[in-house]
Structure 1
């Protein structure tokens, strides 16, 4: 296992040295504060406002139902004394059921709004990534980094991407180790 890690580290170092020695030019880099971008983006603000308004409309409908429930619950104690224990038990069960349904309705409303909002914001983020990529290509940037809430590389020239090489290397290594383990493990016939 130690030999494998050493071979892997050596291979990565050789690839890294190869990449750095073949190109001595300085990279043109920049960064974008992604949190600030989303805070100050008009489209993001419009999406946020849209869902605040939608929340108010949906919430006002539910709020009317909640207020009716609160009035019934407040008068329940008084009515229970007038109508007896059997009525109080039945009405109490009905009120608990309504309260639970109202709670579920509130949760469902919030979840629906969050899901719809998340879909729109994801679409917006994808569009912004494309814009940043196109901008990076147009302006000749090698890398554009993201800071803020989500830190990542937002654009990089394709010729600096060594992902395929690394995947091939680790897959080849995995296959060769798998074959060694298969040979090392005795088969059923060898055990006999």
Structure 2
């Protein structure tokens, strides 16, 4: 009988301990991840860099495409005058060049996607670390993400810390940018 009472008392104490931990309030917040990526300076810089690179690579390819179009127009004009054998041979050459241009365009797009993907993955990784450090520093139990891939269905606006995180990552990016510039100027001075 004493064992039963002792087990009963132990069970009640365990249940009461669980209830006290369940009622603890957690400090939570959320970040609009879409807004973070849209408004962070570093993400804008990466996007701008690859738009510019795309224009440069695209203009080089455009020269080749225009040359091809010119040759195709000349082909149509000269096909009747030069005969069927010439037209078949030149037509096959033009088809091959068109296919090569298509492959070059696909390769350029793939290269841009891969390069920008690597930088964006690195950026997201750095932002996750910054958010984790921010959460620890500010004493948050949970920080949720909303945006394109929402993991929060509802949150009070007072829990939104997106602006604080944007300021944090922008300030961190600006300060790291200044640190990187100084060593380069010292190298140039040595030359």
**Residue 42 of structure 2 is aligned to residue 43 of structure 1:** yes
Matched with 1:76 is 75
Please, which of 16, 19, 22 is the counterpart of residue 21 of structure 1?
A: 19
Q: TM-score, normalised by structure 1?
A: 0.68
Aligned residue runs from structure 1 range 58-77, under 5 A: 58-77=57-76
Distance in 2 (alpha carbons) for counterparts of 1:127 and 1:95? 48
Distance in 1 (alpha carbons) for counterparts of 2:44 and 2:18? 43
Root-mean-square deviation (Å): 1.8
Q: CA deviation at 1:19?
A: 9.3
Deviations 1:40-99 (A, max 9, x none): 010000000000010011111110000000011111111111110000000000000000
Q: Whose RCO is larger (CA < 8 A, sep 6+)?
A: 2
Q: TM-score, normalised by structure 2?
A: 0.68
Aligned residue runs from structure 1 range 49-60, under 5 A: 49-60=48-59
Distance in 1 (alpha carbons) for counterparts of 2:149 and 2:143? 13
Structure 1 75/50 Cα, relative in aligned 2: closer, same or farther at 3 Å?
same
Distance in 2 (alpha carbons) for counterparts of 1:73 and 1:152? 54
Which structure 1 residue ranges, 5 or more long, are not aligned?
1-16, 154-192
Structure 1 18/120 Cα, relative in aligned 2: closer, same or farther at 3 Å?
farther
Structure 1 20/146 Cα, relative in aligned 2: closer, same or farther at 3 Å?
farther
Deviations 1:133-159 (A, max 9, x none): 000000000000000013349xxxxxx
Distance in 1 (alpha carbons) for counterparts of 2:144 and 2:55? 37
Distance in 2 (alpha carbons) for counterparts of 1:117 and 1:91? 39
Distance in 1 (alpha carbons) for counterparts of 2:115 and 2:147? 24
Matched with 1:105 is 104
Distance in 1 (alpha carbons) for counterparts of 2:146 and 2:17? 26
Distance in 1 (alpha carbons) for counterparts of 2:16 and 2:125? 33
